[in-house]
């Protein structure tokens, strides 16, 4: 599985029924930037990743590690 096929930020947003726009507003970021993160065109900084985890109320590891069973 490539990183293009699986994006944890996008998955967590979907699980919470939240949109990129909502996350952008919460973080004070441009919606296009958040969209790029969710589409793997860009990656957030480590500091921003921690901010994203806080806004989404998840452990930062949730955004980094797939919880799917891969064989």
Q: In tens digits, what is the pLDDT along the chain, a chain of 71 residues?
A: 444 456 899 999 999 999 999 999 999 999 999 999 999 999 999 999 999 999 999 999 989 866 565 54
Instruction: Show the domains of the chain with their CATH numbers.
Output: 3-64 (1.10.260.40)
> Which pLDDT value is given to residue 3?
44
> Which pLDDT value is given to residue 45?
95
**In sequence order, what are the residues at sequence separation of 6 or more whose Cβ sits closer than 8 angstroms to the Cβ of residue 9?**
23, 37, 38, 44, 52, 63
Against a cut of 0.85, is the pTM above it?
Answer: no
């Amino acid at each position: 599985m490539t990183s293009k096929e699986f994006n944890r930020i996008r998955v967590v947003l979907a699980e919470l029924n939240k949109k990129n726009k909502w996350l952008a507003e919460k973080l004070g970021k441009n919606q296009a930037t958040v969209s790029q993160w969710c589409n793997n065109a860009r990656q957030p900084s480590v500091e921003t990743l921690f901010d994203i985890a806080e806004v989404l109320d998840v452990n930062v590891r949730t955004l980094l590690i797939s919880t799917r069973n891969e064989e």
